[in-house]
Amino acid sequence: MSTAAPLLEVRNLRVEFPTRRRTLVAVDDVSFGIAPGEVLGVVGESGAGKSLTGMAIIGLLEPPGRIAAGEVRLEGRRIDNLPREELRRIRGRRIGAIFQDPLTSLNPLYTIGEQLVETVLTHLPVRAAEARERALSLLAEVGIPAPEQRIDHYPHQFSGGMRQRVVIALAIAAEPQLVVADEPTTALDVSIQAQIITLLKRLARDRGTAVMLITHDMGVIAETADRVAVMYAGRLAEIGPVRDIIHQPRHPYTVGLMHSIPRVGNQRDRLAQIEGSMPRLTAIPAGCAFNPRCPQRFARCTETRPELFAAGATRAACWLFSDGG
């Protein structure tokens, strides 16, 4: 855990989806912090609850989804229970967001300049002319060539990679302290992915912006993150510094995850894989959610849910480490 006072603190977050038959728990008792300027990678399979955690932080859970318990604090102040209007002022101004698909994130009917100026004017007390200047420098900063010409172009006149750069410019337009990036590279070509990741890293470093980087791509995490949170079935499985998570994972799920990544120079014919699949939200087993697939399962795992225990340099939600690792 980093020692600096956290910029963002999530405590015991629980996100529920009430349905007609029963209430589904999509994020269950998740706690973590992000320090100023830190990049926290959040990994997990589809449906592990990582995007929902991000949406819950920026207050954009789609109904009927709702925060049922826990709290989200920004610089010590609770933001999860703020009135709609106050939360809106925080979005964009203090917490920016980047979504997965740059092709659909921009409104097709407005030029990128109009969308940038609109965002700046919403949050900052500047004149229209200043906002445009700012938009130009933002476009230059995210690496759009010839911003003076491109600013009056419409989204469809840009390629996917360029559009994601515009989305990033929009996310940082009002200089937020935190950016929630939800799968920012998933929809892009591999060659473009590297550029976008480099850009994100550079912006975070230059501006001191903290980033919550949600992805299922361990390569992106390895390259970018300072710390990593591994999620499984709506719960935090393990959290710790990126080096330790990758080289010395403790939680059996993280261990399996790391072994299933192909490595150059590895001569094995088959990739290791974790038997079975992640449980659906309707059928999460008692005890540890991972226990049916766990090679090291013992009796306690099927009975009681483990909390996060210190395990070497990381903290893992696994009974193997209940004695202090």
Partner 1 sequence: MLAFVIRRLAQAVMVMLAVGLIAFSLFRFVGDPVVFMLGQDATPEDRTRMTQMLGLDQPFYVQYANFVVRAAQGEFGLSLRQIRPVKTLIIERLPATLELSFVAGLFALVVGIALGVYTALRRGSWISHVFLAVSLIGVSLPTFLIGILLILVFAVLLGWLPSFGRGDTVAIGWWTSGFFTASGLKALILPAITLGLFQMTLIQRLVRSEMLEVLRTDYIKFARARGLTDSAVHFGHALKNTLVPVITITGLQLGAIIAFAIITETVFQWPGMGLLFIQAVNFADVPVMAAYLCLTALFFVIINLVVDLLYYAVDPRLRIDRTIAAH
Give the interface with partner 1 as residue ranges (CB under 8 A).
58, 60, 88-93, 96-97, 99, 101, 104-111, 118-119, 122-123, 145, 153-154, 156-159, 161-162, 167, 170-171, 173-174
With a CB cutoff of 8 Å and minimum separation 6, the contacts of 272 are 256, 259, 260
Residue 123 CB, nearest approach to partner 1 (Å): 6
- Nearest residue (CB) to partner 1, 138 versus 239: 138
> Tokens 């789609």 label which residue?
62
Minimum distance of partner 1 from residue 72's CB (angstroms): 15
What's the CA gap between 77 and 215, in Å, rounded?
27
In the bound complex, what is the minimum distance in angstroms from residue 36's beta carbon to partner 1? 20
Q: How far is the CB of 308 from partner 1 (least distance, A)?
A: 29
Which CB atom, from 31 or from 195, has the smaller least distance to partner 1? 195
Helix axes 128-141, 160-171, angle to 10 degrees: 130
Identity of the amino acid at 232:
Y
Distance of CA 44 to the CA centre of its chain: 10
Residues with Cβ within 8 Å of residue 159, at least 6 apart in sequence: none
**Cβ distance to partner 1 smaller for residue 95 or 274:** 95
Contacts of 324 (CB under 8 A, 6+ apart): 309, 310
- The nearest distance, CB 38 to partner 1, in angstroms, is 21
Q: Residue 83 or 265: which CB sits closer to partner 1? A: 83
- CA nearest neighbour of 313 among 231, 217, 224, 242: 242
Quote the DSSP letter at residue 304: S
